[in-house]
Structure 1
């Protein structure tokens, strides 16, 4: 017997997830549709519960292949008014007023494949393609008025990802399911140091990848409680240091050590009826500072600079409708609740399952 869990979706280079998957896409061909959260009967076989994207879940049955086309749209904006000077009275300021308005839009299409190698082991491959568009306006109000409008874009293959998910226990007698996950992100996309720049070191196009290899181990816990499934995940993202050795403007960037990240998420997937369900959740990534080593072209001296840490948090909403045993339509929405998170991320998925052996 099968119970179902919707998929959790994402958007960061180092970011993003909403529940939007469906176990029916991984069904082993049963004739009836089971409601979300129904506890399987005692047996030696692992329950057929769909994995959560990027962080894992109870796995695809042995010999089952799931192909998941995906479209994702993410929007982030920065509107900042900064005063640099001296405030004598609340109505009298002496200094410079600077305004910044930045809009960032990212469109991603991807194809993800998941194969149930055994009843407890699942392998995953994700192939993304990105289009990015940034529009920025900078203005300074002073005796010499200054205003700058800039628009940039970029498209291409993103960072290909490989993952393995292993179900640790059988989950019988009311014990939660524990699933170990290991994800690797490649550098197939153009990173920040791969794109072309002008003589001032300003990007002439936007990157489509992070430019750094990363490895993420994590642990997922699933607790079925009909008609719901509660989930939680805790992981650590290792971003690997790289010797960039690139000339940017007047300085040479030598080594870059991207900040690692602690990632957590939790929530609930709830069945409305045997075909429909919704998901509520929350996720948060705590990303460490990035350390960059520069070389002065005149003196050869080196210095290290760290960027600030990031706190990326978002509320998760998901809806799912099952057409039949092999096809599902999932819609996920992320609403950023911290300053560093994208404003909105909308994800549409349509997983299709088939037996291959």
Structure 2
């Protein structure tokens, strides 16, 4: 198998090269465009992990990803007067979050892909009987491959993103009357991803660091005081796993995602308060199914492994074929 062919395929399956009918031996041999286990593996891998694949110059793609997360918890209501507990109650809580992301990618160069993510968010809190829906935080993304791929070696990709605060902010609402659809601040993320083919398995991993720009001039009333500024802490994340080709039409990937967020500082009109650091861990399983010669749909499920992680995450992703988005054949050459 030619490992170089792997890097040139992204959500694309050729119709197969024509066989020479004058030679039975050649007709029975595998042609360059025929389906192989490595091709199927790479296609599903790229469909599952967009941060590891690059597009050729001039190419465009539009994808859709939907994820649902559920967080169950118990909240304690305690009323203490003069050091004595006068009321105590345990209330179950459940938070439902549905995110619909539209991802647009453009191959600016053969080794540089630019992207835009547009999220539409729906939230519901059963404890407070609150709901919210609307635009989330739009992000601008970039993936850059500094070195050409060498067969048998690691493929290295530098990633970066800038997340806006287009969603409704939790710091500009009045108390807890509404649910936010965004984080409320800008943030910058940089990292690197690695991948390697060990037939019939694709190994991958990544790491990133996120810096959130402090949000000032908030002036939000909170419990008799006014919140003036928020200084989010640095956060780090990493992930790793593998994708395995079960057949030409079905593949599977498994991965672990972990993150650490440092303490955040909340500046009030008369004092400062620090939140505790959080650690999150998720285990994900994804199944890729080819629903057409050019389309792979991924269905995934994730399980939280720490207290700060969602209990369950369900996801669905698929490319969207829109007329006019595909580049002309001549544009693919650099």
Query: TM-score if structure 2 supplies the norm length?
Result: 0.81
Quick check: 1:3–1:49 contact (8 Å CA) kept in 2?
no
CA RMSD of aligned residues (A): 2.8
What's the counterpart of residue 35 of structure 1?
37
1:273 Cα deviation after fit: 0.9
Q: Note the alpha carbon deviations across 1:187-235, whole angstroms, 9 max, x for none.
A: 110010233x2xxx3x221100001101100100101111111011011
| 73-82 vs 342-351, greater mean Cα deviation | 73-82
What's the counterpart of residue 309 of structure 1?
277
Inter-partner Cα distance in structure 2 for 1:61 and 1:220:
18
What's the counterpart of residue 9 of structure 1?
none
What's the counterpart of residue 25 of structure 2?
none
What's the counterpart of residue 225 of structure 1?
198
Match for 1:292 among 247, 263, 266? Answer: 266
2:162 corresponds to 1:184: yes
Higher helix share: 2
Quick check: 2:113–2:144 contact (8 Å CA) kept in 1?
yes
1:52 Cα deviation after fit: 6.0
Inter-partner Cα distance in structure 2 for 1:318 and 1:49:
10
Give ranges in structure 1 of 5+ residues lacking alignment.
5-22, 41-46, 86-93, 137-149, 296-301
Quick check: 1:24–1:326 contact (8 Å CA) kept in 2?
no
What's the counterpart of residue 108 of structure 2?
117
Change (3 A) 1:24 1:241: same
Give ranges in structure 2 of 5+ residues lacking alignment.
17-32, 329-334
What's the counterpart of residue 214 of structure 2?
241
Query: TM-score if structure 1 supplies the norm length?
Result: 0.76
Inter-partner Cα distance in structure 1 for 2:45 and 2:243:
12
Q: Could you say which structure has the greater relative contact order, defined with CA pairs below 8 angstroms and 6 or more residues apart?
A: 1
Inter-partner Cα distance in structure 2 for 1:231 and 1:27:
22
1:340 Cα deviation after fit: 0.4
Q: Which secondary structure state, in structure 1, belongs to the residue aligned with residue 46 of structure 2?
A: coil
Equivalent residues in 2 for 1:50-199, closer than 5 Å: 50=46, 53=49, 56-79=51-74, 97-136=88-127, 150-195=128-173, 197=174
Q: Which secondary structure state, in structure 2, belongs to the residue aligned with residue 50 of structure 1?
A: helix
Q: Note the alpha carbon deviations across 1:130-168, whole angstroms, 9 max, x for none.
A: 1100011xxxxxxxxxxxxx3111111011111000112
- Number of residue equivalences: 300
What's the counterpart of residue 215 of structure 1?
188
What's the counterpart of residue 320 of structure 1?
288
2:250 corresponds to 1:255: no
